[in-house]
Structure 1
């Protein structure tokens, strides 16, 4: 199939583009920045999802359109509410309208578990608004969709906006971690490779007009996660808990009573949380020490 991915240069989007290409699909990536991970068999269009002409060009002839564009960090969304509404909500509507005109067969949207509850701030507001628009485009114009509500992602290509990446980076550089909440906060971390594998699975007909949860199957309290990171590093970490009720993040669960529910999809093969965090540590350490080279699984200094 011909598939267009808005936001395909980002953390999750780039992994999904890789999986789609590996599955034999013709992938067009649309993003404000060229993808550092662009493959020879992928097409790149550089520009904003708010550019109507570009969006129309990107969607023309596509069988499926993925929308992973916009502001995805809760803190950033809370600090930039107008930009969040513009990029997340208006950008989503512009993509939907282009898909309607181009007779696209499926619209796949990256939402969040935060739509289930009252936490998440302006990020949650934008995702809820987007879901309502998507459902109404299906009802009014017959545009099939799949809404994917992701849990706590981690893995390669993430930056400091990603929680586990930030925790590991802080632990390696300072021996301490600052966390906005409490040690009892519960998360279901899911490796980005597992999440992208599950994402490609939703192209099957049975997932049309469905709301799907993609999260991990290893629930862990944040305090225990920090202990795991400390044990892996062989050091006692200093943890600074902020217990900030205005952070926008949930503590135990993102769920509040709401009438709509979604199916949960867990990929058959998963990356163990410990192994996944170890990979993050290796990547962060490698970035911090470019003078070292990998030999036989070890980072060693090269002789000049």
Structure 2
């Protein structure tokens, strides 16, 4: 199939594009930034989801359109509410309208577990609005969709806005971690490779007009996660819990009353959380010490 991915240069979007290409689909990436991970068998269209001509060109001839564009960090969304509404909500509607006009067979949207909870701030507001628009485009214009509600992602290609990436970076560089919630906060972290593998599964027709939950299967309290990171690094970390009720993050569950229940999708084989964090540590350490290379399982300094 011909598949267009808005936001395909980003953390999750780039992994989705890789999985789609590996499965033999023709992928066009649309993003304001060129993808650092662009494959020879992928097409790059640089531009904004808010540019009508770019969006029209991007969806023309596409069988399916994936939307991973916009502001995905809760803190950033709370600090930029107008940009969040513009990029997340208006951009989503522009993509929907272009898909309707082009006769796209299905629209796939990256939503969040926060969408119908009480946490998440302006990020949650934007995802709620997007889901309502998508469902109404299906009801009024018969545009099929799949909404994917992702949990707490981590893994390769993440930056400092990603929670686990930031935790590991702070632990390695400062010996401390600052967390705006409480140590009892419960999370189901999901490796980005597992999330993208599960995403590929929704191409099946049975997932049309469905809301799908994609999260981890190893619930862990944040306090225990920090203990694990400290044990892996072999040092006692200083943990600064802010217990900020206005941080936008949930304590035990992101759910409250759900107007539309989502089915949870978990791939048969998943990355163990501990092994996944070790890989994040290796990447973070390599970024901090580019003079070191891995040889036979050891880090050695390169000759000048």
Query: For this structure pair, what is the TM-score category when the shorter chain's length is used for normalisation?
Result: over 0.9
CA distance in 1, matches of 2:172, 2:246: 28
CA distance in 2, matches of 1:181, 1:69: 27
Residue 297 of structure 1 aligns with which residue? Answer: 297
CA distance in 1, matches of 2:259, 2:179: 32
CA distance in 2, matches of 1:4, 1:296: 41
Residue 91 of structure 1 aligns with which residue? Answer: 91
Residue 78 of structure 1 aligns with which residue? Answer: 78
TM-superposed CA distance for 1:296, in Å, is 1.8
CA distance in 1, matches of 2:294, 2:44: 31
Alignment of 1:1-304 (within 5 A): 1-304=1-304
Secondary structure of the structure 1 residue equivalent to 2:189: strand
RMSD value, Cα: 0.6
Deviations 1:252-302 (A, max 9, x none): 100112332110001111000000000000000000111112212322101
TM-superposed CA distance for 1:69, in Å, is 0.1
CA distance in 1, matches of 2:141, 2:297: 54
CA distance in 2, matches of 1:121, 1:210: 25
Secondary structure of the structure 2 residue equivalent to 1:245: coil
- Structure 1 runs of 4+ aligned residues shifted over 6 Å read none
Deviations 1:232-266 (A, max 9, x none): 00000000000000000001100112332110001
CA distance in 2, matches of 1:37, 1:257: 39
CA distance in 2, matches of 1:54, 1:259: 34
CA distance in 2, matches of 1:278, 1:212: 29
Structure 2: stretches of 5+ with no match in the other structure: none
Deviations 1:7-41 (A, max 9, x none): 00000000000000000000000000000000000
Query: What's the TM-score once normalised by structure 1's chain length?
Result: 0.99
Query: What's the TM-score once normalised by structure 2's chain length?
Result: 0.99
CA distance in 2, matches of 1:282, 1:53: 42
